[in-house]
Amino acid sequence: MTPLDHAGHCAGRQRPFILRFLAHASMPFGFPVNGTIVINATNSSSLVIPFNFTKVSVTTGDLAVNAVNQFTFFDPAQPAVAGATVEVRHAFSNALLAQGITDASGQFNVSNLPEGTHRLIVSKPQHLPYDGQVTINPGATQSTTTFLNYQVITFSWAWCQRRLQDQYDGR
């Protein structure tokens, strides 16, 4: 980073300087930051510089998803939810990071996800979808169980247009 003291420079000369942004530890990975820097000089107009950056990490972790429903707990065979669609998305941009299908044991595993908090969506027909967050830590496997509520009863509505004659009682 360029030192703060710029004294002794001749007027009209150009000199580059470097600013270094350091995100606070509490800022989540992938969170977009936007703002402006204003530079004021004596006997000069101001310079407004817009900026945007995103805190990123080069470390990765793994995710193990286990999809279950009511039958997993109440059926003696304890079946898991096979064939469910799993999506892992960026928490802020919603970009797709990984996707797949749960296997016969209701498991889905993915490696090398970026460190940080992501959106996890698990869905299957005749089930209410799971939509939550999962935090991936560097070098570790995050295991999570998702509950997909099985929908035994479904309703569908159909309508047809009919013309009815209005009738009034003149009493």
**CA–CA gap between residue 126 and residue 135 (Å, rounded):** 28
CATH number for 60-147: choose from 3.40.1380.10, 3.80.10.10, 3.30.1330.30, 2.60.40.10.
2.60.40.10
Q: Tens digits of per-residue pLDDT, 4-48? A: 555 555 566 677 777 777 778 888 888 888 888 888 877 778 888
Q: How many whole angstroms separate alpha carbon 105 and alpha carbon 82?
A: 6
**pTM of the complete model:** 0.71
Residues of the chain short of pLDDT 50, as ranges, are 1
User: What values do phi and psi take at 42, rounded to 5?
Assistant: -65, 135
Half-sphere exposure of 42 (CA within 13 A, CB side): 2
